[in-house]
Amino acid sequence: METNITTQPQKKDMAAIFKIITFLALTVFLHFLYDFTKYQVFSIISAIDESIFEHMKIIFYAYFFTNIIEYLIYHKEIYNIKNYIYSRIFSLIFLPWVMILLYYIAPVIYGQMPSPLLEVVYAIIITILVGISTEIIRKNIEDIELKKNLIILTTILFFLTIFLFASFTHKKPIYDLFAVPKTNYLTDQGV
């Protein structure tokens, strides 16, 4: 039986399979929430288009809500609340970047998916792998003593992530991740 410092040794975290299924289900739910309701309030946590950014946002919030569900189930068994919370916040910060790293494997090797069905199947597989990878990160962070500077940095990055997701939902950044900027000060100056 697995042990960690945040829950009593005789108890386990939410079953790994149930947690990944919950994460996947919430990801699908958040993917379509805004489309089905058209309520602006849901646009902050749901996808409003098919951009990679919107998918980063929905998996972030799907994992966030998955951890809230986990807390509601196991809150009485937690005896190191600091590590419990910060291991999950730390994982949340890395989750969208893990998604990008895993998602772009097929496009780099094979190019565009040959069918929409294959693209959906691939996205589901990647979402599951993102959940598993994030849980590995979380479990390792949870088992170490967190220093104050890591807690402060994690908190700042967590709120900065939420701020950016909210800000870029309706106004995408001027500098796209993969696009060459239309104006570049250095090249415009002949540098």
Confidence at 2, pLDDT banded by 50, 70, 90 = very low
Confidence at 1, pLDDT banded by 50, 70, 90 = very low
Bridge partners for 7 per DSSP:
78
Give residue-wise pLDDT tens across range 164-190.
Answer: 999 988 887 777 666 666 665 555 555
Contact 86, 151 (CB under 8 A): yes
Tokens of 170: 């309706």
Give residue-wise pLDDT tens across range 3-29.
Answer: 444 544 434 555 788 899 999 999 999
pTM: 0.84
Which CA distances in Å does 37 have to 14, 66, 82, 168? 30, 22, 36, 20
Q: How far apart are CA 83 and CA 81, in angstroms?
A: 6
Q: How far apart are CA 16 and CA 132, in angstroms?
A: 8
Residue 124 pLDDT more than 50? yes
Domains of the chain by residue range: 16-188
Q: End-to-end distance of the chain based on CA atoms, in angstroms?
A: 61
Q: Check residue 188 and give its pLDDT.
A: 54
